[in-house]
Amino acid sequence: MFIVGLVILIVGLMISVALHELGHMLPAKKFGALVPEYWIGFGPTVWKTKKGDTTYGLKALPLGGYVRILGMYFPNGNGRKTKADGSLTLAEMARQQSGAELDDAARRGQSGKPFYRLSTPQKLVVMAGGPVMNLLIAVVLIAIVVMGIGFNAPSTNIAEVRNAEDGTASPAVTAGIEAGDQIVQWDGRPVESWEVLTEAIQATDGPVDVVAIREGSPVNLVVEPQLREDGTRYVGIVSAVERQRGTPANVAENVWIQVSATGRAIVALPVSLFDLVKSLFTGEERDSSGVISVVGVARLAGDIAGAPTAVDSDSTAGTGIPGGMSFLDRAALMLSLLAALNVALFAFNLIPLPPLDGGHVAGALWGGARNVGAKVTGKPRPAPADTARMVPLAYGVFAVLMVMTVILVVADLVKPITFA
């Protein structure tokens, strides 16, 4: 079953990447840009086909993908072209390669706009399309979990009635509340959730009328919560934990929680990586809520799929998942893991640094600002923004990402995060 979890994760990741790249390709083609290649994965080619001017293919390593859009850089940018020794700068090499690709496409009779000739709104749609697609995938997966599968949560059904903490009859016992009752009304107000009920109990001062459903019929009770020394109120009831389905509002709340948490994790990433490296050398406990690599995600997926079922909870030792899991719990966790992965792809790709999508978004915004500035001041429309100047930065960012990946992979192999 561990292998099944890995396969599910790989397939889910490939679908997420494929849709991400579609988010770039479809609007690019719609706006008339030249898109010669669409690939899922890296490394040796496993399969490919050509339709129109675009080659579609699958590569051996399913850890990413890319869409090649011609004319990403303005060939005639006026930035620095040579170094002190006379060799070409990285920016100029990118400009010349962009121009050569466009010339080659023209010789083969392919017609279309280079990316740098798209309008600013079109560039934004093309480059943000990939991350937005990941966000939409996450929303769909979270909706399936919250509204379809549901989640285990305390309900208004009573699982147990307990005595007071000093051993005397609790308010629940005195009032006649029984295990199996469902509290539907408290002090004249409807009770829709355990959270609403606990808030109503804490706000109660004196005896109140309570309505419970018992064996299908309403029962009228009078309950007076007991005031504790710490100021809280005690009734003596224990909620039955049941699978509950949420609403679209719960989906939106869950999405916002995940996106905001991922954003905070990205901001804190330098500190998190420093603490992670320190924990590897000092033996300190690793932060279980910290960032993980795709290796860590794969391990979690394997743990979920390989966990014993709820009826076989004695065999949970060493799995990191206590008590066993039902099929629905397993499905919910796996879909939630894929949703979290897509939220991470959404947020991380929008960081405004090349070679990430956010870097191209920033370049498009800079070019648009220049156009607006020229229009406002009455000057001629400027040439397309020379975004090739950001290529050296892209190499630096790529190197940092590789170092970060190595650190996370090593940590996930040496000191993995589990469901323990």
Torsion angle, CA of 410/413/418/420, rounded to 10 degrees?
-110
Question: Residue 238 sits in which domain range?
Answer: 152-244
- State the Cα–Cα distance between residues 309 and 315, nearest whole angstrom: 9
Cβ-based neighbours of 18, under 8 Å, separated by 6 or more: 40, 65
What's the confidence (pLDDT) of residue 153? 85
Contact 36, 104 (CB under 8 A): no
Which residue from 69, 67, 4, 18 is spatially nearest to 38, judged by alpha carbons?
A: 67
Residues 295 and 417 in one domain: yes
What's the confidence (pLDDT) of residue 312? 41
Total domains, the chain: 2
Residues 375 and 262 in one domain: yes
Of 196, 217, 244, the last residue of a domain is 244
Residues 185 and 306 in one domain: no
Write out pLDDT tens, residues 255-311: 999 999 999 999 999 999 998 888 888 878 887 777 888 888 888 888 887 777 765
- C-alpha of 45 from chain center: 29
What's the confidence (pLDDT) of residue 376? 95
Residues 219 and 359 in one domain: no
Residues 197 and 330 in one domain: no
Beta bridge partners of 218: 213
Residue 31 falls inside a structural domain: no
Q: What are phi and psi of 51, to 5 degrees?
A: -130, 115
What pTM value is reported for the model? 0.83
Residues 329 and 188 in one domain: no
Write out pLDDT tens, residues 325-348: 788 888 899 999 999 999 999 999
124, amino acid identity = L
Residues 221 and 273 in one domain: no
What's the confidence (pLDDT) of residue 315? 35
Residues 202 and 262 in one domain: no
What's the confidence (pLDDT) of residue 91? 92
Residue 207 falls inside a structural domain: yes
Residues in the chain with pLDDT values less than 50:
312-322
Would you please indicate which residues are annotated as catalytic (active-site) residues? 21
**E strands in 73-215:** 151-161, 182-186, 189-190, 208-214
